[in-house]
Amino acid sequence: MTLNTLGRLAIDLLAAAGQTTAFFRLPCAAPIVIERADPVISPGQVSSHVHTIMGGNGFGFEMNFASTQKSTCSSCTVIEDKSNYWVPTLYYKTKDGKFTEVTQTGGATIYYLQRSDPKDPEPGLVAFPNEFRMVAGNTFLRSYADTVEARAITFACLGTNTPETHGLPNIKCPNDLRAQVFFPSCWNGKDFDTKDHKSHVAYPSGVTTGPCPKEFPKRFISIFYEIIFNTPNFEWYSDQQPFVLSNGDPTGYGFHTDFVNGWKEGVLQKAINDCTDDSGVIEKCKHFSFVTNEDARSCRVPASVAEKTSGTVDTLPGCNAVQAGPEPAKPLSNCGATTSISKPQFPFTDQTKTKGFAYIGCGLDPGGQPRTLKGAKDERNTMTIESCIDFCVSKGFNVAGDFYRPASVRVLH
């Protein structure tokens, strides 16, 4: 297990070479969809593995900047940001070889950090151009190489004093597992994307600090993802950690993240120029307007790949056998997984006319806390949405919830 040499990035983001750095935290309250979609790596196709996607509901299998601007909502709270942020989904491998989705605590927190260096080829920070996109990490890695890109990805086991690691930690985390990813912040000033989705950008010399290479003279505001996975309630049945990424990676070295810019033109640059508070409180930036966390959580995109990705599945969606390495993973195909993009499937059964109940959304019961809906309970193998509503109505309730995966509930009223 390789220890992180960058320090507690997520906890001490203000410390940059001894200087105080302006930044703000963008909350993304929930995923908009969890499915095999990746318009950066696999445009117009079903992706090889499942991703958990946050941001604007203009997200689709093919995207450009205009697509982002058609978003009518976002799961992130700043109205002017219709970007999309996504990560591989985490699963728990059960003792009998099946896989259970590990839900995230919320969606993600995206840090925007104003980090520059006096030795940068050009002074100042710039916002992302309209069609800009990039990827951090390498889905095929199964061992640690001491590269700048590999050092930019870490995991923190919350509730312990153990150092951060570059792979999935082999200890049980009492207060969740946090994945942390720093994106490249140096740009060649020409390309909005490249064939590998990486060559147009580079990391500064110190990964998170230091000057940009001369070939990449433009310096972006830095972005850093925090994703918290709800891991404490899963049983460990051996001396090895039981989690695996949706790409079949049990090591964590293949963790990766994507970013598609959807900021309203001009707004992010104004924030860079004027919002220089070092508290991280995004509401202090006068150029942003906001929705509530509740409104952000309600923003969804219906899935368009006809396969089960949540709850417990027999195999990882797509052709993703577990490959532990240490050699790079090999892409697999012809396993029978669907490759078709179908009609969008909404995550609820419409009971508005038949039962007078409307779908509200999904919610998580906090780990270790009582159930959110605890007025009455009925358990049976033949449970349906309709019978759940009938039971709750018979008990005098006007809210019904169907628990359909660990610690999660679909709520209707």
Q: Do 363 and 334 belong together in one domain?
A: no
pLDDT bucket at 347, cuts 50 / 70 / 90: low
Lowest-confidence range among 118-122, 280-284, 285-289, 342-346?
Answer: 342-346
Q: Do 391 and 244 belong together in one domain?
A: no
Indicate if the pLDDT at residue 184 is higher than 90.
yes
Among 320, 346, 372, the domain boundary falls at 346
Burial class (CB in 10 A: 0-12, 13-18, 19+), 161: exposed
Buried b (16+ CB within 10 A) or exposed e, 252-276: bbbbbbbbbbbbeeebbbebbeebe
Q: What is the DSSP letter of 165?
A: B
Contacts of 272 (CB under 8 A, 6+ apart): 114, 125, 126, 127, 221
Lowest-confidence range among 127-136, 167-176, 203-212, 342-351?
Answer: 342-351
Residues 252-272, mean pLDDT to the nearest whole number? 98
Indicate if the pLDDT at residue 199 is higher than 50.
yes
Q: Which domain holds residue 151?
A: 1-346
In a domain, 400, yes or no: yes
Indicate if the pLDDT at residue 76 is higher than 80.
yes
In a domain, 48, yes or no: yes
For the chain, give percent helix, strand, coil, nearest 5: 10, 25, 65
Q: Do 176 and 255 belong together in one domain?
A: yes
Between the alpha carbon of residue 73 and those of residues 35, 350, 387, the distances in Å are 19, 21, 32
What are the pLDDT digits (tens) for 388-402? Answer: 889 999 999 988 887
Among 299, 322, 346, the domain boundary falls at 346
Q: How many CB atoms lie within 10 A of CB 233?
A: 11
∠ Cα 226 229 230 (to 5°): 145
Give which of 373, 367, 408 is closest to 391, Cα–Cα. Answer: 373
What are the pLDDT digits (tens) for 211-227? Answer: 999 999 999 999 999 99
For position 368, what pLDDT does the model report? 56
CA 66 from centre of chain: 22
For position 367, what pLDDT does the model report? 53
What are the pLDDT digits (tens) for 84-128? Answer: 999 999 999 999 999 999 999 889 999 999 999 999 999 999 999
Q: What is the mean pLDDT of the chain?
A: 89
Contacts of 151 (CB under 8 A, 6+ apart): 4, 5, 6, 166, 207
Contact 167, 254 (CB under 8 A): no
- 383 versus 254: the higher-pLDDT residue is 254
Q: Do 366 and 338 belong together in one domain?
A: no
In a domain, 4, yes or no: yes
Among 289, 311, 346, the domain boundary falls at 346
Indicate if the pLDDT at residue 43 is higher than 50.
yes
Burial class (CB in 10 A: 0-12, 13-18, 19+), 352: exposed
Q: Do 59 and 158 belong together in one domain?
A: yes
Q: Which tokens is 368 given? A: 């270790």
- HSE at residue 388, side-chain half, CA atoms within 13 A, is 22
In a domain, 84, yes or no: yes
Q: Do 325 and 407 belong together in one domain?
A: no
Q: Do 276 and 210 belong together in one domain?
A: yes
Q: Do 254 and 336 belong together in one domain?
A: yes
Contact 207, 152 (CB under 8 A): yes
CA dihedral 33→36→40→43, nearest 10 degrees, is -110
Q: Do 150 and 218 belong together in one domain?
A: yes
Contact 308, 317 (CB under 8 A): yes
Contact 75, 296 (CB under 8 A): yes
H or E segment at 219?
A: strand 218-219
**What is the bridge-based pairing of β-strands 90-93 and 243-245?**
antiparallel
Q: Do 387 and 256 belong together in one domain?
A: no
What are the pLDDT digits (tens) for 5-40? Answer: 343 443 344 443 434 589 999 999 999 999 999 999
In a domain, 373, yes or no: yes
Question: What is the C-alpha separation between 317 and 302, in angstroms, rounded?
Answer: 17
Indicate if the pLDDT at residue 73 is higher than 50.
yes
Indicate if the pLDDT at residue 258 is higher than 70.
yes
Q: Do 225 and 81 belong together in one domain?
A: yes
Q: Do 121 and 68 belong together in one domain?
A: yes
Report the predicted TM-score, pTM, of the whole model to 2 decimal places: 0.83
In a domain, 351, yes or no: no
In a domain, 388, yes or no: yes
Number of domains the chain contains: 2
For position 412, what pLDDT does the model report? 54
Indicate if the pLDDT at residue 55 is higher than 60.
yes
Contact 217, 61 (CB under 8 A): no
Q: Which tokens is 135 given? A: 């990827």
Question: What is the C-alpha separation between 265 and 128, in angstroms, rounded?
Answer: 9
| Backbone dihedral angles phi then psi of residue 202, each to the nearest 5 degrees | -155, 160
What are the pLDDT digits (tens) for 314-324? Answer: 999 999 999 99
In a domain, 354, yes or no: no
